[in-house]
Structure 1
């Protein structure tokens, strides 16, 4: 298993202080954005990255993806299930 701890404090600093979340949140397109929402997203993304995605790095390197004769691609063990968790969490629907 790969140990990975996303640098959440660094991300928070970048979003809140460098980018200026308060300024961005005042724009009409981002009116529903708040520091609490951003922090909650970072926390949940961190959990997904460290517990689901990071452990796949090694097996992905070892097995690799394979192009089959019928043109489909077989992903390494665990990737299909990880993608299902990614989708179940609604991550594919998040955009800037």
Structure 2
């Protein structure tokens, strides 16, 4: 039987360090087969917030899958992610 841990709305940029430490400790102790992250990964969809979230999730002792939320879209230009994806040939975005 597979065991999956779920966590939602991490909101990096306004994250709760104690809650993140608690969750990481639970993952290390319980060793689930996977971690599912849903909802808002970031607070304002800034590159620094995504980088902090990526570092945190990379350090979890389990495979991770992520489903972003509405906070993970930039508020400056909501259509930009669809016309200029990160790393695309059109260049990088500033957020």
Q: Name the TM-score, length of structure 2 as normaliser.
A: 0.29
Q: Which has the larger radius of gyration?
A: 1
Q: Which has the higher strand share?
A: 2
Q: Name the TM-score, length of structure 1 as normaliser.
A: 0.29
Q: Which has the higher helix share?
A: 1
